[in-house]
A and B are shown apart, each in its own frame.
Chain A
Amino acid sequence: MNTEQKQEKLLFAERPEWSDVDPIPQYETSTPIAPILYTPQYKDATDYFRAIVKSGERSERVLQLTEELIRLNPAHYTAWQYRYETLLALSSSLQTELELMNELAIKYLKTYQVWHHRRLLITLLRTPQPELQFIETCLRVDSKNYHTWSYRQWLLSHFVDDDDLWRGELEFIENVIGDDVRNNSAWHHRYFVVFGCGVRSGSEDRARIVRRELIFTKQNISLAPNNPSAWNYLRGILDYNRLPYSLCTRFVKPYTLPLDPNTVDIVDLENPPPSRGAELPCVYAIEFLADIHEKAGDKDNILKGVDLWKSLANEHDTIRKKYWEHRIREALQSAT
């Protein structure tokens, strides 16, 4: 907190409109663990807050007190809880509260309580639509913030029947992935939208959806092959739809080899080749191809898989050497 803010506000103890309240200090044992050397402002606000909680007062000035307290410590969950109950008791405008939260959420993006409070408000207000824009603003500040993404997933699943809310979601997530193809939160969200949250009307033709998703993912892999998020998503599509990984054999193979300098740019939607300048071979492709061989199960295939794992263990992914050797042992055991 800067000095300017410190000066501008009187302590509650100095404000005439609070003179009827007797502040209640915090009780602490004589030898506390890790006592905090509170600022006079925080001590003052909590002394008045304890007094209010004890008397059970619900009033406009309680809203003011809890807001100031939350600004001093956004993790003060009791202040949030008391504030929420006071809003309800006074039938205060939740819309006004939401506007205040727009400011606080950006300020305290990593605090649980800000988001919990927001969920409570939207559950009552039932106005999810403008939230999408708000979330986009938050994502511009921190594009991988866990709370922000969780909130978007909660919002969409809580209002799952709201077609207007859902209408632009695929386009939205396409743009976020376009901005940063390595943003795993965005890929996860795509999975949530396309598969995780159930089938929406207009997307019942699952074969078409699966084809669209495969093409989208392969295109993104072709542009940036060494991106684990896209490879995990590719596996996700296949697993969810119970499709064999071998469906992607032709696509995967070129990524397991050194880059072919004679490669020409061809447009092949089903099997887009690595883009020029790609760093190959790609660890995730080798792992994927080895899985295909392992699944086939016959001895010949197992041995091909073993060779791939060996190349990971000894050359391309040595930090996981013991893991790849474990995969080799496992595969050889099941083959005999």
Chain B
Amino acid sequence: MEDGIRLPCFNRAGHVAHAKRCMSALPASQTDIDASRLALAFYNIGILDLLGVMNDGDTISRQNGKDEWLEWLWAQQTQGKYGSGFRPSPFMLLHPPAEEFSDYNTPHIIMTYTALLALSILRDDFAKLDRSGLIRLLRACQRDDGSFTTTPGGGESDLRTLYCAFAISAMLDDWSGVDVERAKSFVTSCRTYEGGYGQDLFCEAQGGTTYIALASLYLAPSSSETDPLTLEEKRQTVKWLMSTQTSSGGFCGRTGKVGDSCYCFWCGASLKILKMDHLVETKTLASFLADSQFKFGGIAKCPGEHPDPYHTYLSIAALCMYPPSPLAADEKPDSWEFPELDPLLNARVDTAEWARKYISGKGHRT
């Protein structure tokens, strides 16, 4: 299978340029990300981190706008009666800004997770982090069924938010903000007959939510003592995940769908969590992602489509777990070298280590 494939060069410089472009002004056609801008910032900063241009020297980072980015990210931290966390952007922030958030300018759990990771990439010391406020925010967002709403007192709730609440607790190394058992039973209730997990009770198995479910279960503090899945469950989940790699080399999100670069991360990281990453065919996977590269930088969901930071970040994150091998000299092997990734937090290993150390407060000198 691998013999016939010749990989082109991985266009690192193009992807760096694409990420930087997406950090400057966005056209009005992207107004729909007004209420999720912080996630976009995370994907772009993450691309730079995975491609090794972020922390290879402070000068480079500063040229990249590190100080301005830190300032903007911290400006999104907000406090109020439900605790503290990060909002998606100042889209509901009044001019001049008020001290406390109103019910309509609250922190958002998913954005808080992406903010903590983005700040870790920028090697912030988290001296400004309101830790006890974060715990109160998580408490305010957990519902009776164990799931979490995106914002206190409302908003949609599904598995994505639950994962972010778990990742935040893991980075804080403090689980007192969540009822872990109730949350885990919600995750379990989203399992389907195919072996994957749906977004909500009774929903179809899907790659993204399967990652979210597994990462949550394996982030939970008890998972180091007892495996969250039985042997039979694990085998069934691995079978389903393996079946999502299509003949194009790319993974698809649901049974019978076509390959999509973001699912190379979601399904690939799921297999990595289950320690089955050695089973994945890496060369065809890389060839699918190579073909999804856009001529002027960035990676699309599949060949022929337009790129975006979400698919670019997740494609590179997939390559961090599944670097293609073996490579011939004319395949530009050094363009295909990537750092190791922590599949549970979805960040470079050194970034994830930084997050766990400084967000928990344990990295601080006295």
Contacts of A37 in B (CB 8 A): 25-28
Distance between Cα atoms of A42 and B35 in the complex (Å): 13
The reply to whether B23 and A34 form a contact with Cβ atoms under 8 Å apart is yes
Please encode chain A, from 82 to 120, with 1 for each CB lying within 8 Å of some chain B CB and 0 for all others. 100000000000000000000000000000110010000
A46 touches B204 (CB 8 A): no
Find B245's partner among A54, A75, A320 (CB 8 Å cutoff). Answer: A320
Residue of B with least CB distance to A25 = B95
Answer whether A319 and B247 are a contact pair too, CB < 8 Å, given A27-B95, A33-B41, A81-B154: yes
In the complex the two chains form, what is the Cα distance from A239 to B73 in whole Å?
49
Most B C-beta atoms less than 10 A away, residue of A74, A232, A233: A232
Question: Once the chains bind, are B25 and A34 in contact (CB under 8 Å)?
Answer: yes
Evaluate contact between A32 and B31: CB separation under 8 angstroms: no
Which residues of B from 234 to 279 have beta carbons under 8 Å from A? 240, 242-243, 245, 247, 249, 254-257, 276, 278-279
CB of B281 closer than 8 Å to a CB of A: yes
**8 Å CB contacts to A: which residues of B190-236?**
192-194, 198-206
Known: A29-B71, A34-B22, A34-B26. A228 touches B94 (CB 8 A): no
- Separation of A33 and B71 alpha carbons in the complex (Å): 10
A39 within 8 A of B: yes
The 8 Å CB contact of A188, one of B24, B93, B200, B205, is B205
Shortest C-beta distance, A85 to chain B (Å), equals: 9
Q: In the complex, which residues of chain A have a beta carbon less than 8 angstroms from the beta carbon of B35?
A: 73, 75-78
B193 touches A157 (CB 8 A): no
Knowing A146-B206, A197-B202 touch, does A36 contact B75 (C-beta < 8 A)?
no
**Is B33 in the interface zone, CB < 8 Å from A?**
yes
Binds B, one of A147-155, A208-216, A246-254, A269-277: A147-155
What's the least CB distance linking A247 to chain B, in Å? 17
Give the residue of A27, A33, A228 whose beta carbon is less than 8 angstroms from that of B23: A33
Which residues from B are CB-within-8-Å of A34? Answer: 22-26, 37, 40-41, 44
Query: What are the residues of chain A within 8 A of B257 when measuring CB–CB?
Result: 144, 184
Interface contact A322-B199, CB-CB below 8 Å: no
Assembly CA distance A82 to B72 (angstroms): 26
Contacts of A39 in B (CB 8 A): 28, 31
Q: Tell whether A311 is near chain B: CB-to-CB under 8 Å.
A: no
Within 8 A of A (CB), among B98-144: 102, 104-105
Q: Which residues of B contact A170 (CB under 8 A)?
A: none
A148-191 interface (Cβ within 8 A of B): 149-150, 153-154, 157, 182-185, 188-189, 191
What 1/0 mask marks residues of chain A from 59 to 77 whose CB sits below 8 Å from any chain B CB? 0000000000000111111
Q: Does chain A have a CB within 8 A of B97?
A: yes
Instruction: Tell whether A38 pairs with B31 under 8 Å between CB atoms, given A27-B93, A196-B202, A319-B249.
Output: yes
| B330 lies within 8 A of chain A by Cβ | no
A265 within 8 A of B: no
Once bound together, how far apart are the Cα atoms of A52 and B22, in whole Å?
32
| In the assembled complex, A310 has its CB within 8 A of some CB on chain B | no
**Complex contacts, A235 vs chain B, CB 8 Å:** 193
Q: Which residues of chain B are within 8 angstroms of A321 by Cβ–Cβ distance? A: 1, 281
A244: chain B residues at CB < 8 Å are: none
Would you give the shortest CB distance from B34 to chain A, in whole angstroms?
6
Residues of B within 8 A of A153 (CB): 201-203
Q: Which A-chain residue is minimally distant from B156 (CB atoms)?
A: A116
CB-CB under 8 A for A240 and B193, given A27-B90, A116-B156 = yes
**Are B192 and A24 neighbours in the complex by a CB distance under 8 Å?**
no
Q: Contact: B28 with A154, CB < 8 Å?
A: no
Question: Per-position contact with B for A5-38: 1 when CB-CB < 8 Å, else 0?
Answer: 0000000000000000000111111011111111
Measured in the bound complex, the distance between the Cα atoms of B195 and A235 in whole Å is 11
Residues of B within 8 A of A200 (CB): none
Pair B91/A26 contact, Cβ less than 8 Å = yes
Contact between A33 and B72, CB atoms less than 8 A apart: yes
A258 to chain B: which residues have CB within 8 Å?
none
Choose among A38, A112, A188 the residue that contacts B204 (Cβ–Cβ < 8 A).
A188
**Would A154 and B93 count as touching, CB distance under 8 A?**
no
User: Is A50 on the interface with B (CB-CB < 8 A)?
Assistant: yes
Interface centre among B35, B96, B193, B205 (most CB of A within 10 A): B193
Besides A35-B26, A232-B255, 14 other A-B contacts (C-beta < 8 A): A27-B94, A34-B22, A34-B40, A36-B30, A37-B27, A42-B31, A77-B150, A78-B105, A144-B257, A182-B256, A229-B256, A320-B243, A320-B281, A321-B281
Q: What are the nearest 5 A-B pairs in CB distance?
A: A236-B193, A31-B68, A27-B95, A188-B204, A184-B255
- Which B positions have Cβ atoms within 8 angstroms of A? 1, 22-28, 30-37, 40-41, 44, 65, 68-69, 71-73, 75, 90-97, 102, 104-105, 150-151, 154-156, 192-194, 198-206, 240, 242-243, 245, 247, 249, 254-257, 276, 278-281, 284
